[in-house]
Each structure stands twice: as C-alpha cells, then as structure tokens.
Amino acid sequence: MDSKDKFEFSSSPSLEELRQMQGKFCSDRKWEQFHTPRNLLLALVGEVGEVSELFQWKSEDCRDGLPDWSEEEKTHLGEELSDVLIYLVRLADKCKVDLPTAVLRKLAINNNKYPVEKARGSSKKYTEYVNGNEDLNQHTKSSSPDTNGSL
C-alpha cells in the first residue's frame, strides 16, 4: 500500500466516550422518554437508508477513498455514517450491550467461522465450509451476495 493511501481512525473518542456524550445530549433535551430500543432501532435503520441514498445512482466503479466524490459529498457521508454510529451506540446503551466486548466476541466468532485457509479469496458463506462441501458449491462474488454482509 502506498503511504498516500494509508488511512486510520483518530484514537478518540472511544465508544464509551461516545455513549456518555450522546447520553448527555439526550438527557439535556429530555429525550430519554423517546429512546426505547424499538425507536432507536428504527432510527438506526432510517439512517442506514440515508447512507444508501448517497450511494444511490453512483457509478458501479466505486473505488476506495471515493476519488470521484466531491469534498461536500464526503462530508455528507461522514455525517450520515456518524448518525448510524450514534444510534448504534445509543441502542446498545439502552439494551445494556457492552458494545466493545460484544464486538471482540463477534470478531472471534467470525475468525472461527471463516478460517483463513478456507476463506482466503472466497466469497462463500461459512455454512458452505461445513461438511466439507465447499468444492460442490462454486460461487462467484455475485452469486452469494450475503457473504461478508451477514456474518
């Protein structure tokens, strides 16, 4: 990877800091009453839809870093992705799910589901590795769209 392509997130805020910041934002406005898990889930899905709108009608050739997008479009994308994260953190908070612990556990599960020796370069769903039938179901990326999307 070229050094100009290097990308990483800032080190802060942590998910716990986000949880606290959003909690204060909501309690200051007395929005606790509206933030049931159900309402937060629906809001989260709505925000995912807003992210989808930004990609709708764009070229199929959507490359890393979105070089064909304007700075304004990228800023808008950052805002909508933030809305998704904010609602996700708030939903986890209201459901008392320790998101950092849960995500580490899920990554470990995924690591077991998709062992490198079987998953490397393959878009097959993990269920196709079970019973050794991976050679019976040759899939291309386009024929198994749920792989890597429904871990």
Q: Which residues bind Mg ion (CB under 5 A)?
A: 47, 50, 80, 83
Cβ closer to Mg ion: 76 or 139? 76
Closest approach of Mg ion to the CB of residue 35, in Å: 16
Closest approach of Mg ion to the CB of residue 36, in Å: 19
Closest approach of Mg ion to the CB of residue 70, in Å: 18
How many CB atoms are closer than 10 A to CB 87? 22
- Considering Cα of 87, then 92, then 98, then 102, what sign does the dihedral take? negative
Cβ closer to Mg ion: 55 or 141? 55
Phi, psi of 15 (to 5 degrees): -65, -35
Cβ closer to Mg ion: 87 or 114? 87
Tokens of 92: 């986890």
- The alpha-carbon radius of gyration of the chain (Å, integer) is 19
What's the one-letter identity of residue 60? E
Closest approach of Mg ion to the CB of residue 48, in Å: 10
Cβ closer to Mg ion: 50 or 98? 50
- Considering Cα of 112, then 118, then 122, then 127, what sign does the dihedral take? negative
